[in-house]
A and B are shown apart, each in its own frame.
Chain A
Amino acid sequence: MADETFLSDDLLRQLMSVGEVDLLVGILAHRSANTVRRAAHYVEKSLQQNFVRQRVAIISVDGGAVEDSGSDEHSGDGEPGNNSNSKGITSLRTIHRVTAAFSGAPSPGLALRTILSASDLLRARACAVVSPATSSTSPEWVANLLRPAFRDSFDFVAPLYSRHKFQGLLARNLLYPMTRALFGRRIRELYSDEWAFSNQLGNFCLNEDMWHEEPIRSRPEAWMGISALTSDYRCCQVYLGEKPPPPDGAGPDLVEVLRQTVGSLFWLLETHQPWWLERKGSEALPTFGPDHAVTAEPMELNRARMFEMFQTGVKELEPILESILSPQTLESIQGIATLDQHSFRFPAELWVTMLYEFAASYHHSVINRDHLVQALVPLYRGKIYSFLEEYADTSATEMEAVSENLCLEFERQKPYLMEKWKAGVEVKS
């Protein structure tokens, strides 16, 4: 059950007015009332068109100044729907907009917990979480996410995007193949800004006493997805389309991104080890919509700078890397760090071995875990530089084969991780 004391009186009052719903859409806002309002408008249109008879509500979770807190009843903007003789009648039902305001910027974990609480109190059968940016540009995504949860009884619905071959590099080179190999499910976008879930899964997560954990506070969607996978909930993916790139300068830097994602992944390995240690191989998830597509539009990155940071990092972090990596792995990395830019390659096999050693070291807390993850940053840069150079002329289709080979390498080396994981290790101060 939702802990009502966690929710503000104002939010509870708003929820009381809403009553029971079939669908809830949560918008994780970013201190911009205008952005939220626009996003809510598009979400509402999508709901009006795709879930005509269902009882729906939209909840915006925001921190800082919010211009219009309080329940805001909407039934459309007066634009005629796609009904004949609509006479300005846009929908059958009232669509409620609820705002959960916080005095400071809420963490994603807090925001999700608020949405889960609202979903529980409103007894929503299915819930989707969307970001203001994508819900404004692609409102049909909301419907695509909700359908499997609402109509087909899936508990967790992950998105699937059409990506440029050099987009989503972290997911392609690390998060996806590692999650797939270890948790045994081919879920491509575990770390995303939009996903959907059933009320059963929502209640399960809401009742977990783990909301204070940093990985959940920063990237709750991954925890939710892994919880679904490991608790035998039905999971699927749904194709949404081309993911818009973040606005220039928006979003955290690479260090923070790795802390949130890789740190979260390592923590999930920690908390779910009985489950993944038993798994072998990987299975596909039911996928709705066209296959994951890779586009070929160019994307600019400062490769020279990346390589330079890789070399510098390997050199300056040697004492730390000695604690984390095996001597052979460190020697291999130091070896490739001496190559010139044009001949440099970071082999897949080495990359996987290195990551697994990082994971095992995280498990054994050989050093401060946060520092451990940060130490990965320059190595990641090196891998990405190598990737960009090696596959500069690769077609979108060929890139899929490359990714698949990397995934298989992760799966092949899983026994190595298991061996390192279970072994005792000397903790260095």
Chain B
Amino acid sequence: MALQEDNLWYKDAVIYQLHVRTFCDSNGDGIGDFVGLTQRLDYLQELGTNTIWLLPFYPSPLRDDGYDIADYTTVHPSYGTLDDFKAFLNAAHNRGLRVLIEMVMNHTSDQHPWFQEARSSRDNPKRDWYVWSDTDTKYKGVRIIFIDTELSNWTWDPVSKSYYWHRFFNHQPDLNFDNPDVFEAMWEIMRFWLDMGVDGFRLDAVPYLVEREGTSCENLPETHAVIKEVRKRLDQFYPGRMLLAEANQWPADVRAYFGDGDEFHTAFHFPLMPRMFMAVKLEDRKPIIEILDQTPPIPENCQWCIFLRNHDELTLEMVTDVERDYMYDEYATDKTMRINLGIRRRLAPMMENDRRRIELLNGLLMSMPGTPIVYYGDEIGMGDNIYLGDRNGVRTPMQWNGGTNAGFSFADPERLYSPLISNSVYGYQVVNVDSQRRFSHSLLSWMKALIKTRNSYRVFSRGTMEFLRPSNHRVLAYIRELGNEKILVVNNLSSSAQAVELDVQRYKGYIPIEMFGRNLFPRFGDLPYLLTLGPYQFYWFRLRRI
């Protein structure tokens, strides 16, 4: 299956996020690798996803799970070789799967040769590739992101006897994008991978590229200038490749990263994500509607990326203090579940393994505007291990079957890069791909059907959205529309049955066809349309006028 030529392919993507380390180990060293991942591509194709987003696989001391990069142009030996990657990439493309990789522009590992050179002396040619100061008082007041571990954005370097700037861990010094050499070096790195055929980059931590005194050092005009230049070159030399922004900001601030369609193609809608969880717990659509009401329109050639969970903590940076407290109290009662300003749990445990809620949230994910991202393992309802350090509890080995090491590896269990989830609820003996493949009613089967239905109608990926606002606030209802195609989505956010009257009189004469069973429902008429929904139930109706 060849990749279709479409410069807007990312609008129709269903992205599967994974770390190669977690997916499949082919050589018995206990660590997932590209050969193993290649062996599992059929699974991803079968699931219905069409794009893979790989977390960092570069050589790294792995003190931040690979986001501390020591060499940008090869593969960490634990994951294989560059040739293994190329084989994976080709195999993915042959199955119609696109591949996004990480590009960490903001910082490197302190083990990167650039930093080793820069710190060696104040006269080194690469000195100015990083941000140095003789004091730690510059850029005062700039917030610390990893508040659980870092006390300052400056760290003293005993080698060069000065401070260096880092917005993340102290072993991740920030690159200095005021130096044109830095930009050119990063662009060469990107070209390296683009020439190989990767379909795009997730640019990590982009709001922090440039610093200026007296500012928050986030979202500065100079940062946007860097992005614009990247995009300009991408469009010129690699049309059809995509840039995805990781900018954990309020929607109005993220908007700037789309520019006039000349910066990022896509960006995560971070503030929406916790509000989906909040809405289900509150049994109130208000958080979702509120944040989408204040989400500005974006250029036609751009797209939000939406998600439920990912490799990081469920971030609560972009919520109010009241909302954060609520989320902690409801979803992270055990303080071990909390890290930085977020919650380090997977989807299924947060939903208390309630299949209905898991389905509801995935239904929202697949029907709201934006490109959906599925975090590996959530399609089978994997659990987490909050007792592993950092955010490793949501990065445990993929559970393929109930056999040795969950089918992830044939190594000795003690050798695995991470312990498996093995409790009686989420353990690999209970939750795994093989067992769920056997049953049409499994979560995996259901997810396949959901994604297939979504992929069948472009209105989900490219259509407009209009909220209906029935008086029952427990029901979230909206119309997706693209050309003549109209889809009505109705979600019961509550744990109890609900009745709702929808003002659809302007669609009088349309016949709603429930999209999973394809059954006809009574036609819309002059009166508000009465629907009843079971706990956490949702409907997708295709509206036909015949």
Q: List chain A positions with a Cβ less than 8 A from chain B.
A: 13-14, 16-17, 19, 52-53, 71, 73, 75, 81, 83-89, 91-94, 96
- A291 CB to closest chain B CB, in angstroms? 33
Give A291 to B214 CA distance when docked, in angstroms.
51
- A328 CB to closest chain B CB, in angstroms? 66
- B7 CB to closest chain A CB, in angstroms? 34
Give A220 to B322 CA distance when docked, in angstroms.
38
- 8 Å CB interface, B282-341 against A: 282-287, 290-291, 294, 318-323, 326
Per-residue interface assignment for chain B, residues 323 to 366, with 1 indicating a CB less than 8 Å from any chain A CB and 0 otherwise: 10010000000000000000000000000000000000000000
- A145 CB to closest chain B CB, in angstroms? 23
- A94 CB to closest chain B CB, in angstroms? 4
List the 7 closest A-B pairs by CB distance, nearest first. Answer: A17-B471, A94-B473, A83-B320, A17-B472, A71-B471, A94-B286, A93-B284
Residue of A17, A88, A91, A96 touching B470 (CB-CB under 8 A): A17
Interface residues on B, range: 20 to 34
> B494 interface residue, CB < 8 Å from A?
yes
Q: State whether B284 touches A85 (Cβ < 8 A).
A: no
Q: State whether A92 touches B471 (Cβ < 8 A).
A: no
Per-residue interface assignment for chain B, residues 447 to 479, with 1 indicating a CB less than 8 Å from any chain A CB and 0 otherwise: 000000000000000000000011111100000
**Could you say which of A81, A88, A92, A96 has the most chain B C-beta atoms within 10 Å of its C-beta?**
A92
Residues of B within 8 A of A81 (CB): 320, 322
Closest to B494 in A: A19
Give A83 to B250 CA distance when docked, in angstroms.
15
- B3 CB to closest chain A CB, in angstroms? 40
Residue of A85, A93, A96 touching B320 (CB-CB under 8 A): A85
Give A91 to B285 CA distance when docked, in angstroms.
12
Give A229 to B321 CA distance when docked, in angstroms.
42
Extra pairs beyond A71-B471, A85-B320 (10, CB < 8 Å): A14-B471, A19-B283, A19-B494, A73-B469, A73-B473, A81-B320, A81-B322, A84-B320, A92-B282, A94-B286
Residues of B within 8 A of A73 (CB): 469, 471, 473
> B499 interface residue, CB < 8 Å from A?
yes
Residue of A14, A75, A89, A94 touching B323 (CB-CB under 8 A): A89
Can you spell out 27 A-B residue pairs with CB atoms less than 8 angstroms apart? A13-B471, A14-B471, A16-B472, A17-B472, A17-B473, A19-B283, A19-B472, A19-B473, A19-B474, A71-B471, A75-B286, A81-B320, A83-B320, A84-B321, A85-B318, A85-B319, A86-B320, A87-B250, A89-B291, A89-B320, A92-B278, A92-B282, A92-B284, A92-B286, A92-B323, A93-B282, A94-B284
- B495 CB to closest chain A CB, in angstroms? 11
Q: State whether B320 touches A53 (Cβ < 8 A).
A: no
Q: State whether A87 touches B286 (Cβ < 8 A).
A: no
Give A91 to B326 CA distance when docked, in angstroms.
12
- B491 CB to closest chain A CB, in angstroms? 15
- A88 CB to closest chain B CB, in angstroms? 7
Residue of A75, A85, A87, A92 touching B294 (CB-CB under 8 A): A87
Closest to B330 in A: A53
